[in-house]
Structure 1
Amino acid sequence: METLNSIECFVRSAEAGSFAAAARHLGLTPAAVGKNVARLEGNLGVRLFQRSTRSLSLTEAGERFLAEVSGGLGSIRNAIANLASAGGQPSGTLKVSMGLVFGRDYILPLLGDFLARYPAIRPDWHFDNRQVELIAEGFDAAIGGGFELPPGVVARKLSPAHLVLLATPAYLDTHTPIRNPEDLAQHDGIRIRSPQTGRVRPWALTHRQGKGQASIELRERMYMSDPEAACYAALQDLGITLVSMQHAVPWLDSGRLQRVLPDWYVDAGSTSLYYPAQKLLPAKTRCFVEFVLERFRAQGLEQRFSAR
């Protein structure tokens, strides 16, 4: 009978694509992971991986074995974790990825109440503006939006992902009036590059009463890779920027920035909580998901983040 440890080393190595990445997730050395996988191969009498100095890939037998054991291993792992919860309460390290500003402004303030309710959970929160490989990188959950749902991952919607045009009242008072999207061509833009691709995404504006769509034709005066930086540039009366409502709300509430063309916005889908699709979700993950959804409803953030 193969040990759970050997099978887990195999599954993690297959998911992560290397013994080193699997070792980091499991808290072992790469050599220990490699030995466990080699022992498993020896006992099964088949080669599960093709190895080279630079890559690790599954053999045909390895792909079949992974498909057969990975789901069951996840269920066993979660069952053990749930059963071992301290005093019947959810426990363990909760590894979550979220955007820097969104996490700081809307998730981090929930931390005290969350830990008061679930004191045996140990947060390991990563604030990074990128789409993580949820399963391969060993995250329990992630918060984000604007990307396709990866295989083996489910999502719970937190709010719409709407973007709006912003500028200072002083800028709007001293420049050509903007009455429709075509007028944007006469104004300087503070555009945001994707940190992943380095490109400026060509968003289309949508009218909130369904009166069509329009392109954003700002003069591209400058580029930023961070929406907060773009807002601070706009505060200097340097032009118009386009940011998500999550970033815009504090500036709109203070009156330091205001919406340009308030009947128009960009619909980028939804901001959601993502987690692995498992029949038996770890208690720590389930509690975190339900807690965040509960607080978002209580605070009315879904409505606040809507630009309609």
Structure 2
Amino acid sequence: MQPLSHLESFVRSAEALSFSAAARQLGLTPAAVSKNVARLEAALGVRLFQRSTRKLTLTEGGERLFREIGGALGTLADAVAGLAQDGGAPAGILKVSMGLAFGRAYVLPHLAEFLARYPAVQPDWHFDNRQVDLIGEGFDAGIGGGIELTQGLVARELARIHIVATAAPSFLAGKRQPRHPADLAGLDGIVRRSSPTGRVRSWTLRNRAAEEGAVETRPRLVFSDPEAMRDAAVMGLGVALLPMAFALPALESGALVRLLPGWYADNGPISLHYPSKKLLPAKTRVFVDFLVERLREQDFARRMLGN
């Protein structure tokens, strides 16, 4: 029987295809993880990884071993962790990734209550508008939209994010109120450039009657950040098509006005992602349940709809 530390170093390295990422999860140095894997290879007489200066890949033997023990080892580790936590409160560092504006507006306000309830949990929250590798980078959870679900992750949908047309009252002064997306043509637009592709985003809005209409404003400003788009719209600089998560505070305060009520584009779900383990660490489980409950109490999912 191989030492559990050797097997766990192999499995974590195979999940992330990185000794460094495995080391961060296990609290070891990359050299220690590499040495554990090398000792396992020596004991088995099989090379498990092809190593190069740029990447780590599994050999055929490594893939077979990973398929056979990966899930079982995860279940064993979780069972031990769960048993250890049965007699005490959730504890430990809670590493979560979330978008900058979304995290500040919809997650951070609940932090004081979460800490009061779970004082032994230490949040390590990363506010960053990028898709992280949850398993490879050692995150306990992530919050975001447009995230590709990779193997080993599950998602709890928090809401559908609808895109709506907005503008400041000062911008609309003296202008005819649009009744159809085509009526936005010729108006100054604050448009978004997609960071991954570099292309300017275009939108087709629809309503409950299943009618559709393309939005073709005259690009006046091009931004890569929806929060900056909202702020520019509040300044009266043009029409902005915004996710409801960013538009809602300004709509509620009156700083922005909703154009074309009932027309929207569905930009997909915003979800809470975490590793798919039968027994989640207590710190992750309570965070997931806590945030889902708080957003449900605020009717968050309905408020994100633009229809």
Using the size of structure 1 for normalisation, the TM-score is 0.94
Are the equivalent residues in 1 in contact too, given 2:100–2:128 (CA < 8 A)? yes
Q: In 1, Cα distance between the equivalents of 2:176 and 2:88?
A: 64
2:264 aligns to what SS in structure 1? strand
1:88 aligns with 2:126: no
* 1:176 Cα deviation from its structure 2 partner: 5.0
Aligned AA for 2:5?
A: N
Q: What is aligned with 1:2?
A: 2
Q: CA RMSD in A?
A: 1.7
* 1:86 Cα deviation from its structure 2 partner: 8.1
Q: In 2, Cα distance between the equivalents of 1:77 and 1:232?
A: 47
* 1:231 Cα deviation from its structure 2 partner: 1.1
Are the equivalent residues in 2 in contact too, given 1:82–1:90 (CA < 8 A)? no
Are the equivalent residues in 1 in contact too, given 2:18–2:136 (CA < 8 A)? no
Q: What is aligned with 1:35?
A: 35
1:136 aligns with 2:136: yes
Unaligned runs of 5+ in 2: none
* 1:242 Cα deviation from its structure 2 partner: 1.4
Unaligned runs of 5+ in 1: none
Q: Could you give the per-residue CA deviations for residues 201-253 of structure 1, whole angstroms, max 9, x where no partner exists?
A: 3332121x233222221222221111111111112221111111111111011
Q: In 2, Cα distance between the equivalents of 1:175 and 1:238?
A: 14
Equivalent residues in 2 for 1:97-108, closer than 5 Å: 97-108=97-108
Aligned AA for 1:21?
A: A
Q: What is aligned with 1:13?
A: 13
* 1:173 Cα deviation from its structure 2 partner: 1.6
Q: What is aligned with 1:201?
A: 201
* 1:60 Cα deviation from its structure 2 partner: 0.4
Are the equivalent residues in 2 in contact too, given 1:130–1:196 (CA < 8 A)? no
Equivalent residues in 2 for 1:250-269, closer than 5 Å: 250-269=249-268
2:119 aligns to what SS in structure 1? coil
1:23 aligns with 2:13: no
Aligned AA for 1:27?
A: G
User: Where does structure 1 differ by over 6 angstroms across 4 or more consecutive aligned residues?
Assistant: none
Using the size of structure 2 for normalisation, the TM-score is 0.94
Q: Could you give the per-residue CA deviations for residues 249-290 of structure 1, whole angstroms, max 9, x where no partner exists?
A: 110111011111122111122222111222222222111111
Are the equivalent residues in 2 in contact too, given 1:159–1:305 (CA < 8 A)? yes
Change (3 A) 1:83 1:200: farther
Equivalent residues in 2 for 1:264-303, closer than 5 Å: 264-303=263-302
Q: What is aligned with 2:65?
A: 65
Aligned residues: 307
* 1:297 Cα deviation from its structure 2 partner: 1.5
Q: In 2, Cα distance between the equivalents of 1:128 and 1:210?
A: 38
1:111 aligns to what SS in structure 2? helix
Q: What is aligned with 1:231?
A: 230
Aligned AA for 1:126?
A: H
* Percent identity (aligned): 58
Equivalent residues in 2 for 1:125-164, closer than 5 Å: 125-164=125-164
Change (3 A) 1:175 1:205: same
Are the equivalent residues in 1 in contact too, given 2:47–2:62 (CA < 8 A)? yes
